[in-house]
Amino acid sequence: VSHRLGLVSDKCTTPFSVEKELVKHIPETDIPIAHHWLILHGRYVCQARTPQCDTCGLQLMCKYYCQKYKVSKESGKDKE
């Protein structure tokens, strides 16, 4: 989920490296709940085989969505 959303770089290939990168961007007080948010988002919305992009509230922040649907993160408009 972290890779698909673009929260971590593709260079992060282990759970430890992903965690290390995420912790840099999440306030310490939010870390325990952010862990659950990511798990639940992956379980119910951003599923590995069939992501539910049409129901996702993070579309315009999501690297996968923007690339798949050719949408600019900045403007939310189609790239031409």
pLDDT tens-digit profile of 30-43? Answer: 999 999 999 999 99
Residues 6+ apart with CB under 8 A from 60: 66, 71, 73, 76
Residue with tokens 């599923």, as numbered in its chain: 47
List pLDDT tens digits, range 33-77.
999 999 999 999 999 999 999 999 999 999 999 999 988 776 655
Length in residues, the chain: 80
Output the CA torsion sign for 25, 29, 32, 34: negative
